[in-house]
Amino acid sequence: MTKKIEFFYVDAFTTETFGGNPAGVIPNAENLTDEDMQKIANELNLSETAFLLPTSNADANYKIRYFTPTKEVDFCGHATLGTAWLMATKYNWMDKDDKIVFESNIGLIPVKWLMENNQLTRVSMTQVRPQVKSIDISPAVVADLVGILETDIDDRYPIKIANTGVPHLMVPVKTRQAIDQAEPNLNELKKMNNDFNISTTHLFTFDTNGQFDIYTRDFCPNIGIDEDPVTGAANGALGGYLYLENILAQQERHQLMIGQGHTINRPGILYVTITPDAENAVIEVAGAAVVSIEGKIFV
């Protein structure tokens, strides 16, 4: 028997249709098998598709699962943000509560509404506590893998793995120009990421001509995506890295505006808030979204 499944494309971290990072969202996935979800994610062919299911967790509103075209992943920032925006606007969650809480493979993810003049302007998700760890890899090797010169690496900051749910390799770069011109060796980068169990490789720079606080690009061939346009998970992890490595002053609250996606004509903006909490910090990633496509899939 054929099932009709409602689906949406939601462009996250943008106020413009066809900007930011598109996520697939399936709001009613309770009758889908794992195989169905993987096939749908492959058919929609976006970096991630989020599926909402009933939850048995009393502190959550839904269970959320994320699939790339090739595999399930534990967390995806832009798909979480896009799903929350859709639920707030299309499914009237704004009228029910001031937030929505998803149960994911990495724990609970609360997403709250940010309002101005009774209009939803952004949604803000709290990520899991940041962690940072060292990696035994030389800057020369990293530069070669991501397709920049070794002299482009900003050696004032360490190359490390940062995590607010899934691990990302943080690569400091001196200039935006070097990031924009990066041409990664995707096959070798995929192998390195798999060897070190890294989800994505995240290039960042403070060189933005005042347009943003930080500018980034994100490569993730090992999860089936060459480049992710605007990455909520990786930029949240970046905020944690900057705080835990004392690049940003500790015991101070920081608010960062991060630009990403411009190189591949999917420009987006993320707002990362870092709030000190004892020895660690609370990381929130916020942005706007736009529903660009809706329809039905026949399964």
Decide: residue 67, CB within 10 A, 0-12 exposed, 13-18 middle, 19+ buried.
buried
User: Is 102 within 8 Å of 109 (Cβ atoms)?
Assistant: yes
Read off φ and ψ for residue 268, nearest 5 degrees: -145, 165
Counted residue by residue, the chain has a size of 299
Query: d(Cα 61, Cα 81) in Å, to the nearest integer?
Result: 15
How many CA atoms are closer than 13 Å to the CA of 145, on its beta-carbon side? 24
Nearest alpha carbon to residue 87 among 62, 117, 119 = 62
User: Is 201 within 8 Å of 165 (Cβ atoms)?
Assistant: no
Rg (the chain; Cα; Å): 18
Catalytic machinery residues: 48
Query: d(Cα 243, Cα 162) in Å, to the nearest integer?
Result: 11
User: Is 76 within 8 Å of 232 (Cβ atoms)?
Assistant: yes
Query: d(Cα 77, Cα 84) in Å, to the nearest integer?
Result: 11
Query: d(Cα 29, Cα 297) in Å, to the nearest integer?
Result: 12
